[in-house]
Amino acid sequence: MDDKYVIKNLSYEDVLQQLNNVTPLQLSKTLIQFELSDKQSSSDILDSIYKEFETKENVINELVTPLLLNVADGMVRHPKLGDIFKKTNITPTRIVKEVNEFRYDVLTEEYINDNEFMIRAEKEHYLRKNYDRKARSKTEKEKGIVRQNKSGQIEDAVTGKTLQLREDDANGDSTIFAHMDHVTPLKHMQVKYRNHPYLQRGDISKLAGLPENEAYINATLNTKKGALTWKEFIEKNPDALPSEQQKKVIELENKSEKAIAEESKKMITKNVGLQGLGEALILLMKPIWFEIKDSIQNGILYGFDTLDKIEAFGLRMRRAYVYVKENVIPKLGDFLKDVVANFLGVLINSVVDMFTGLLKSLLSIIMNGFLAIKEALSILLKPNSEMTKAQKADAITKIIASAVVPVVFFAFEQNIGKVPIIGDVLTLILSGLTTTMVVWLLNEIDIFSVKSEKRMERIEEIFNIRVKTIKENTDAFEKAALEHLAKKRLQFHKIANGLQSAVLDGSDVNSFVYGLADFMGIELSIKSTNEFYELLSQNESLSI
Amino acid sequence: MLGIVGWLKEKADDIKDKVVDCYDAAKDKIADCYDTVKDKFVDGVDAVKEHSTNMWNGITGKNLMEQAEAVWDRVEKHKIKINKCKTEIEKLGRVIDTKISNINYLKNEIYRNHFMKFKSLADRLHNLNIHGQSFNEFFDESIVTFAYLTSVKDKSDCFKIDFDNLSFSEKFFGFLSLGYMTRKAARESLEEVKKTELSLAHDVAKIKEHLAKVGKTVEAISQIEEYFSFITTNYVKLLGRFEYGVRTQTYKRIIENHVNVSGKINFKEIPVVHIEEFHAIFNLSIVLKKMASLGYLSESGEMLVHDIAEYENLKDMVSKSELIAA
């Protein structure tokens, strides 16, 4: 047995010897402080043993966060959903952190936009290819250009001349060779919107590609214009264009600016709105995920008065729903309110459905999914050195999800309908939650409990030995203390009686006083009356 | 703005209606599921139960629960023992408290009373100073309280499943999982109860140990009390003898007109017996001083400094006009 649990065995002789080594005046203190066992309480010992046995019991807890991370990751990287989350500051890590920290009594209100950094960063440097993303063919289509054998013509937006799209057709004359010019230059837009928090690089390139911003002018002029706006160009080169052409380009520029302004407004609103939607999705997930996590870690009945697990689950979902309805939805803008409220209803309903489906088909899941479960089990039991928690969660999610979830998925497929974006999010969330629930259910039916019997054996062994030792030590103590106290009592009475008689009958008491001091273990420096005389003679005053 | 919002709003309206239906449907579905399964399976459960109780107990884990019940009886017994010991320890604590107070009183008397008297008598013969500290002991209750008790669990905390009152979902889960879930609950209950019983048995052993120590300490403190009481009584008696001696010698000198300039009697001129008494009391004072300075239970207390100096006593004697005899 480990040293730390062992209590030293004390014999009757040991105790007696210890007591004999102290004076009668120190006896009471010695007795009350006597060490017959150690200072470990029952709960200290249990905690210590459980730590020794820290094994797969924690596997469920350890899986919860990685599973959530999986779901969050899937959500954020989903090809169809990529856009929603890209335009928000929601990262998988942030989702996991916030959802994990969720408590019903704590209402945090942070809508920190820390993605500004990212949005700005990507607009920091101007690289033409990042902004000029619209295909020329599209532009040509918009302008009504039809190519025949690669040749095509277009009217010069400034001069009015006919321009050739194919360089060879221009015969070296750059005044009739067509260039596609961005009225408001790309670089100019990059600089202008560089610090805008709600316009991303992709948005800017879209703005640059608006039909009003694209104009075909001749190559000579375009080269001259360079990266300037028309207004800047005229200022720099007041004589380069005749006045009607000047008027024309200014008109072009005004049109472009107007179109860009309008379109950018729409984009900004949408980005803000979508950001809100992303936030709202997370807010929804928090209480629902909390309920799932809480069920796994503390048992589904924890905190509720019922002993019926199905009822408890329903109560949990209701609690989450009420929370969102009362605390989250009122805070959203009107537009989002409706969307989220409906989304929520569908989500809750689907989760409930999924749960009932799961229960109903539990047996078939076990039988059909048995191989998958076996595989999952063997993965779970691998030491963390071979496979990290995250890897385990990943592997298990895949195995169980592919083998087991189809059995249940049908239930909520019907509820989602064919709603894009929201439907996909729902699917993702639910698949992650389903997997978690299956893992939880498997734990409930005891597949994962390992070594609990071994641990119980150890607890019994340690406690039994300790109890026996303590009992034996206590007995030894009582026997020895009893004897010692009796002996001392007898000794004292002998001296005391002698002293008392001497005092009463007037004889010399000194020998008894010495006996008493001796008994008490007190040192008297004056050993005889003669010495006392000397003391008196030599000292003006006595001191005690 | 219009594009996305409008489109979403449209869809939202569609869903809204569906959702309301869905929600109600969901509620009904659960209730249905409940009922259907109830009908199908509860009959099955009861049927199996009838045919083979032992197998049923084994499958469900009921036998484990029966073991747990037996262990729980021991738990209850432990609880009783512990409470008894606690009460006893508290009682002894109060006894110790009283005794400590008494000892404190006796300690103080030594300085206030006995040493003062000794000093006033001794001064007739020789200058005497007594410096000392008496230790006024506080009764520290933590000495006697027992600190290690495991928090006592209720039966319901340990027993995670009640086979006599299985809820519907327990039967449902139990049957579907081929008894896995109920066995697990039963095993956990047994484990929980065993842990509780062992913890409490450990507590019983510890509290009994503590009780033994407190009990013997009471006896030891009683002894100390007796030491104080006895020694001070005899000290006083001895002082009486000494006083008688000193007085007699004083009167003798007055009659013989032998008053010393310093007001003291020359100790070389008085009978040995009185010096012997002086000597004895001197030694006993040392013993008492030592005893008064000690704590007998813990370090908890305060030191009271006593300084019985010469001139104060002289003042005292003058006011009592003992120097000037009639």
> Does A112 lie at the interface with B, CB-CB under 8 angstroms?
no
| Confidence band, pLDDT 50/70/90 cuts, at residue A505 | confident
Dist. CA A375–CA A364, nearest whole Å: 17
Instruction: Give the span between the Cα atoms of A323 and A85, in whole angstroms.
Output: 24
Residue A232 has pLDDT above 80, yes or no: yes
What string of H, E and C letters represents the secondary structure of B136-174? EECCCHHHCCCCCCCCCCCHHHHCCCCHHHCCHHHHHHH
> How confident is the model at residue B52, as a pLDDT?
45
Give all strands (DSSP E) within A69-207, no chain letters: 153-155, 162-164, 178-182
Q: Which residues contact B216 (CB under 8 A, 6 or more apart)?
A: A31, A477, A478, A481, A482, A485
SS3 of residue A151 by DSSP? strand
Q: Which residue has the higher pLDDT, A396 or A234?
A: A234
Answer yes or no: is pLDDT of A75 > 70.
Answer: no
Measured between CB atoms, does A496 come within 8 Å of chain B? yes
Q: How far apart are CA A178 and CA A163, in angstroms?
A: 5
Which of A27-31, A67-71, A360-364, B185-189 has maximum average pLDDT?
A27-31
Type of residue at B171:
K
Residue A420: pLDDT band (50, 70, 90) is very low
Task: Determine contact: A34 vs chain B, CB below 8 A.
Answer: yes
**pLDDT score recorded for residue B128:** 82
Count of C-beta atoms within a 10 Å radius of residue A371: 10
pLDDT digits (tens, 9 = 90+) for B141-153: 777 777 767 776 7
Per-residue model confidence (pLDDT) at position B143: 73
Q: Which residue type sits at A310? A: I
Query: CB within 8 A of A408, min separation 6: which ones?
Result: A354, A357, A358, A361, A365, A434
Contact check, Cβ <8 Å, B19/A540:
no
* Single-letter residue type at A451: K
Which residue of chain A is at minimal alpha-carbon distance from B6? A335
Residue A95 near residue A416, CB atoms below 8 Å: no
Spatial separation of the C-alpha atoms in residues A253 and A257, rounded to whole Å: 6
Provide the pLDDT confidence category of residue A114 given band limits of 50, 70 and 90.
Answer: very low
- The token pair at B157 is 């905390």
Burial class (CB in 10 A: 0-12, 13-18, 19+), A39: exposed
Choose from A69-83, A407-421, A469-483 the range with maximum mean pLDDT: A469-483
Residue A418 half-sphere exposure toward CB, CA atoms < 13 A: 0
Report the alpha-carbon distance of residue A274 to residue B8 in Å, rounded: 12
Q: How far is A391 from chain B (nearest CA, A)?
A: 28
How near does any CA of chain B get to the CA of A340, in Å? Answer: 9
Question: What averages of pLDDT result for each successive group of 10 residues across chain B (326 residues)?
Answer: 59 59 57 56 52 52 78 90 91 91 90 87 83 79 73 72 66 55 74 89 92 93 93 92 87 77 76 87 91 84 68 52 46
For residue B273, the chain A residues in CB contact (below 8 A) are: 508
Q: Give the integer Cα–Cα distance in Å for B267 and B277.
A: 12
Each as own residue / partner, the long-range contacts of residues A108-117 (CB below 8 Å, 24 or more positions apart, any chain) are A111/A279, A113/A89, A113/A197, A113/A275, A114/A89, A115/A88, A115/A89, A116/A197
Which pLDDT score, from 0 to 100, does residue B324 have? Answer: 46
pLDDT at A450 over 50: no
Chain B CB within 8 Å of residue A329 CB = no
Mean of pLDDT values over A30-51: 84
- Separation CA B154–CA B136 (nearest Å): 45
Q: Which amino acid is at B199?
A: S
pLDDT digits (tens, 9 = 90+) for A239-269: 888 888 889 999 999 999 999 988 887 777 6
For position B2, what pLDDT does the model report? Answer: 53
Which pairs from A294-300 meet CB under 8 Å and 24+ separation?
Answer: A295/A440, A296/A60, A296/A61, A296/A64, A296/A436, A296/A440, A296/A443, A297/A60, A297/A61, A297/A64
Tokens of A40: 């470990």
CB contact under 8 Å between A459 and B170, yes or no, is no
B67 vs B159: CA distance, rounded Å: 12
Predicted confidence (pLDDT) per residue in A94-111, tens digit: 777 776 677 666 544 443
The 10s digit of each residue's pLDDT in A145-191 is 888 888 888 888 888 888 888 888 888 888 889 899 999 999 898 88
Interface test with B, best of A32, A270, A448 (most B CBs within 10 A): A32
Whole-angstrom distance, CA of residue B39 vs CA of residue A377? 34
Q: How far is B6 from chain A (nearest CA, A)?
A: 9
Question: Residue B8: which of A339, A452, A510 has the nearest Cβ?
Answer: A339
Q: What's the pLDDT score for residue A472? A: 92
Q: Which of A42, A45, A446 sits opposite B180 (nearest CB)?
A: A446
B14 vs A338: CA distance, rounded Å = 11
**pLDDT at position A61, please?**
55
pLDDT digits (tens, 9 = 90+) for A333-359: 665 666 666 666 666 666 666 666 666
pLDDT tier at A374, thresholds 50, 70, 90:
low
Question: DSSP secondary-structure letter at B267?
Answer: G
Q: Which of B185, B175, B19, B287 is CA-nearest to residue A414?
A: B19
Q: Is A125 exposed, middle or buried (0-12, 13-18, 19+ CB in 10 A)?
A: exposed
Strand pairing category for A178-182 and A162-164? unpaired
**Which residue among B169, B184, B272 places its CB closest to the CB of A309?**
B169
For residue A266, the model assigns a pLDDT of 77
Distance from CA of B281 to the nearest CA of A (A): 9
Q: Residue A194's pLDDT is what?
A: 78
Q: What b-and-e string marks burial along A505-539, b requiring 16 or more CB atoms within 10 Å of the CB?
A: eeeebbebbbbbbebbebebebeebeebbeebeee
CB within 8 Å: B29 and A34: no
**pLDDT interval class at A447 (50, 70, 90):** very low
Answer for the pair B233, B169: CB distance below 8 angstroms, yes or no.
no
Query: Among partner residues A460, A499, A540, which is closest to B198 by beta-carbon distance?
Result: A460
